[in-house]
Amino acid sequence: MTLIRGVNLGSTFIPEAWQLPSFYAGTGTLCLCKLVQANATEAAVRMRRHLATFVTEDDFAWLAAHGFNAVRVPLGYWNALGSVGDAIPYVPMDVVESFAVLDQMLDWGSAHGLAVLLDLHGAPGSQNGADHSGCGHEFGDGIGWGGEESVRRSLAAVGALVGRYGQHDALLGIELLNEPAWAVEWNHGRLLDYYTRALALVRAVNSDILVVFNVLYKNDFPGGFGDWWTGQLVGPRVVLDLHLYDCYGNASRRSLAEHVAQAREWRAQIAQFQARGHEVLIGEWSLATGIHHGGQAWADAQLDAFTDTLGWFFWSLKAEGDLHPGSNGGDTWSLRGVLASGIVLTPSAARGAAMLEPLPAQIEAVLSTRMPVEPRSAPTTSTILAAVLPGGWLMLASLVACITVLLWGVRRRGAACTDKPLRCAACADEREYLRMES
């Protein structure tokens, strides 16, 4: 039963150049960290103007009227802690400015019946080296997250968010880290330790809201990272988030029938995670396909695949040019563009109707009927490698070296992919894009 019908407020706190080119126009930069390093004063002026106008209460009212009941808000750690004195003076530098905007969003959620998921999209040092983390490839290989200080500050950001909003009636939950890179997933013990500590921080304030963690590389070895999460982070209102796109690299050349077949495969993958005891939501998806337009048929196939999840968040609410299909947002990445083109994403009964009870209460009613899955010890990096390498550890050094060379080469080949919609046709294959993003 799909309960969450939501949308990402993408590019609000972390503007992405492909989505909002005017934010960076005339600066010679394409991501937030580069802009603040080039001209922090100009960055602050642009951000202040942007936050005052990009998402307003009218957007929340419009979403409610069109049958949506939740928003996912991508945030940088600086929006919870400020960045005064940081090496990269992200804007707003003063956390008071960020909290003023978030306060409004939570209150608008209450007023219009939209639950709010706060998502740590940009972590200290960048957890994936992508522009949507605030900084694209600023830290050599693009990843500066994972050391104790970056983990400590990430925990502080989660603590600040739940401390301020943990009892707000519109808060749906906290997402602990968006799209951790392949290398971050590989360092599984560190990532699991961070998630475990962050979960404890949230639960110390509120035991009822959702705590969400994102698994990006669900198809990678050994046997998919899903195997690594078996028995881990399984508990009441702990939710696994998948981001499902079928437009990058080779996928951009698929026929509509092949895209629909991929959606059926997603449904099977979702079921595998659920069989391991995980509640699942789809934190990001779009109607982007590549060469062959998907339209309503592609929307229906994906929505059908998501039927048995807690729900979904479309990426994204809006983009410049979003009322002109085929342009920057069009009817693929922008919800406003999608609906303007006549595509339907929500059931007719939900449109224009107030919810009978708040979304968190509906979710709790459903989760309380689920049979709990007993947590059990999950395989560690060591035991999985031992299984993959039955001859022992003699091959481990060469394996790590090969992975390092492969990832570095992939990053270089993917460096030309700079515009998100264009990436769907530009990258050599889906895995190349994903690893380039990481």
Predicted local distance difference test score (pLDDT) of residue 84: 85
Q: Classify residue 112 by its DSSP letter.
A: H
Rounded Cα–Cα distance for residues 272 and 258 (Å):
21
Question: Scanning the structure block, which residue is given the tokens 């059931």?
Answer: 347
- Looking at the chain, the whole-number percentage of residues with pLDDT higher than 90 is 65
Question: CB–CB of 288/319 below 8 Å?
Answer: no
Which pLDDT belongs to residue 385?
40
* pLDDT tens per residue across span 110-137: 999 999 999 999 999 999 999 999 998 7
Could you give the count of Cα atoms lying within 13 Å of 435 in the half-sphere of its Cβ?
A: 21
pLDDT at 356: 53
Q: Is the dihedral of CA 279, 134, 19, 412 positive or negative?
A: negative
What span, in angstroms and rounded, lies between the C-alpha atoms of 287 and 285?
Answer: 7
pLDDT tens by residue, 365-403: 777 777 565 554 444 444 334 333 433 333 343 344 334
Quote the pLDDT of residue 355.
59
Helix/strand/coil (H/E/C) assignment for every residue in 394-416: CCHHHHHHHHHHHHHHHHHHHCC
Q: Output the pLDDT for position 320.
A: 87
Helix (H, G, I), strand (E, B) or coil at 360: helix
pLDDT for position 286: 96
Q: Is residue 93 within 8 Å of residue 82, measured between CB atoms?
A: yes
User: Can you give the pLDDT at residue 223?
Assistant: 53
Phi, psi of 355 (to 5 degrees): -65, 140
Q: Going from the N-terminus, what domains does the chain have, and what CATH number goes with each?
A: 4-377 (3.20.20.80)
Q: Which pTM value belongs to this model?
A: 0.85
3 state SS of 110: helix
Give pLDDT, residue 71. 98
Using alpha carbons, list the distances in angstroms from residue 366 to 71, 272, 406, 410: 20, 20, 44, 43
Give mean pLDDT in consecutive 10-residue pieces for the chain, a chain of 438 residues.
92 96 96 96 98 98 96 98 92 98 98 97 95 78 85 98 98 98 90 97 97 86 62 94 95 95 95 93 96 93 96 95 52 91 82 68 77 52 38 38 37 33 38 36
Helix (H) or strand (E) run with residue 336 in it: helix 335-340
Tokens 């603040």 sit on residue: 36
CA–CA dist 190, 167 (Å, integer): 29
Distance from C-alpha of 333 to C-alpha of 340, rounded to nearest angstrom: 12
